[in-house]
Structure 1
Amino acid sequence: MSTTETRTSTGSRPGATGRRPRRPSSQPVWAERPGPIMQAAKGLLIGAICVVMLYPLIYVIAMSFGTAESIQSGQLFPTSFSLEAYRSVLSGGVVTRAILNSVFITAVGTFLSVLLTAMLSYGLMRTREVPGARIVLILVLLTMLFGAGIIPMYILMKTLGLLDSHWSIILPGLIGAFNLIVMRNFFMNLPGELFEAARIDGAGHFRIFFQIVVPLSKAVIAVIALFYAVGYWNVFFNAMIYLNDTSKWPIQVVLNQFVVQNSDINALQNPDRPPPPAQAVQMAVIVLATLPILVVYPFLQRYFTKGVLTGAIKS
């Protein structure tokens, strides 16, 4: 065989250049393991995002413990710390009463909202079996597109005699359309054989709901409860409209008075002690208003993936 034929035959063979043909990956591109450079870039990006997100929180907490000298010196983080701001806030009674109001609104509102949303979701699971269920579902979904408006809602609360009552904040938001959709889809993914077996054994709807549906739906119930709790705890606009009695204000309204409008701070201070700096008092109120959600959130975070994804996608 000549040299030319040898080169031609060698060049025509697959893999003669020393390169193996690339095997097609069975996974999509976004599911493949990234290289070291991409992993390092992702780590730096996540670290930068964490710094940006945590810096305001750390700053607020540090300034709430700052003394008058450290704050007036213009330090980014105070070097000397004091609890005087928290003593003034908690001894004045205004913030303490507002926190108790927010706890009542959040606890009662979350319990009623989760209970009624779950019961309505169970009733709307099978629209073909329940008469009028499709109409009710459409009416609930329409609330995501249209609202009554501020003035009609105020007139309704006044007509019902709910002004200056915490029920004016709880009742209008008892059932959220988005939460209803998520919970209903979660219920629809539960095995239908369980409901059929329970009916054969003579169980009614209430027994099926409380003994079968609720125990199997702890994940979505925890997620929806957190959604409602955050909404009730952060209520501000409705409280400003419906509550004229300052003793019934929730913590967010009091926070607005102290931080945004910078009013009534002297009322919190003890005349027997030197007044704490106004900025430290403001930051202390912010910490007290944020702390409950920060404490509850980590315990319910593990339910988020299962509860939201399973409730949002129907198999």
Structure 2
Amino acid sequence: MSTVDFSLPLATLLREATHEAHELVAKSPGATTMLSGRLRREEYVRYLMMLWHIYDAFEQALDRHATHPVLEPTYNPTLLARASALADDISFLLQVPEASWKTHPAHAQLLQSTPPELTAYVDRIRELADSADPTPLLAHSYVRYLGDLSGGQTVRRTLGKAYGLDEQVGQGLSFYAFKELRSAKLANQGEMKRIKDWFREGMNTAGDIGVEVKAAVLNEANTAFDLNTALFTTISVDTPSQDTEVVEQSKEIPILVERPSRPIQERSFPVSQVAAVVAAVCLAHFILIVTGFSGEKGLQSLLDVGRWFATITDPVTSSAE
């Protein structure tokens, strides 16, 4: 930490110190699959369930230490809390009442075979919550909340298209929706920026307490990113979303044939007329072979056959129209 310029604001220090860790998360197979909209729906629900356990433990920890001088400047559960939104999304995607999603077989399976990465994440948060100094929890606020605020809108659009969810209604996408800083209205892009600015100011206020605060938060931030990266490794990326495949194919394969403006009518011909046409073709072929195709004589023969063939076929086509 000796090379760190602790005179810089805490928000700036965090951005610079965690740049590489952020890139690792963004480029992980689990993250890229989800952000491209190719994650299977059931696997996405499983991911949301893991996030719920993380946010539930984390937000309980923040509630316990709401008045701590380092955590208080960014403590705003009405604005930031995500556990309830995650529960809404999970229950909607599973099509079950919110009160019963925890007893769903998918969640029971997650609890029965809990990934060690999820256990490590939750255990670390609880360890900090139980410690004498919960200052490092601010690093988890930075990684979780600022990440949700920064990339949430893009993810929301991607997943809405992938899973056929209505962005305007918002059901199944509540996790990525935030209210305005000072009202209950849904935040737009401009308001999201104001929320992020407010959050960074709160972090800087906490950092102004002293270098020891900045050092503790910086150290924990990389741990938080490591835990988040590990969580993405638990996502199964073997099978893409079927809904997404359909969307992508419709974009890549153009419509080459226009639909006719009126229905095509089937035509039928009497056997005698068909036989006459066949006989005419055979006779025309014989004449051309005998008289030849070259020279003035050949050209005249070709024209004569054409006129004669027209007199044979006209009655056939006119009778079918």
TM-score, scaled relative to structure 1: 0.24
Larger Rg: 2
TM-score, scaled relative to structure 2: 0.23
